[in-house]
């Protein structure tokens, strides 16, 4: 049960550039966390069989945590992208440039050294 909040916190604490890896890291962390408690008959094959069994019996928590981490990372990514676009638009408008429609910067106008206007 503690895995679900840890999945969300993982997606919140990850760096901006690594946002898309958060949903991948969460199941790996789950498997590493299950490894010490996986009961096997002995040897490597017994441990692997215990790990597979533990992962199979806890699949609901694993899928739920992965889903939460994925949704949280996507929401963060969308928010950061929207915020970055707004900052760029504001910087373009303040810099004496005109911002186009939804397609980005179109018809950028800049002042020349003589004070006239040119279209780039």
55-70, pLDDT tens digit by residue?
999 999 999 999 999 9
Count, residues in the chain: 120
**Domain edges within the chain:** 3-101
| Contact of 32 with 21, CB cutoff 8 Å | no
**pLDDT, tens digit, for every residue of 19-34?**
888 899 999 999 999 9
- The sign of the CA dihedral 28, 60, 68, 38 is negative
Q: What pLDDT score does 69 carry? A: 94
Residue with tokens 């604490």: 13
Residues of the chain with pLDDT under 70: 96-120
pTM value > 0.75: no
């Amino acid at each position: 049960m503690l895995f679900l909040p840890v999945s969300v916190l993982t997606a919140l604490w990850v760096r901006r550039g690594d946002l898309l890896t958060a949903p991948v890291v969460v199941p790996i962390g789950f498997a590493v966390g299950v490894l010490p408690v996986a009961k096997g008959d002995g040897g490597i094959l017994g441990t692997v069989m215990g790990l597979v069994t533990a992962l199979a019996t806890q699949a609901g928590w694993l899928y739920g945590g992965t889903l939460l981490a994925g949704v949280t990372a996507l929401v963060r990514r969308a928010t950061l992208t929207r915020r970055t676009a707004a900052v760029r638009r504001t910087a373009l408008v303040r810099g004496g440039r005109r911002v186009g429609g939804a397609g980005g910067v179109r018809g950028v106008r800049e002042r020349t050294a003589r004070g006239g206007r040119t279209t780039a």
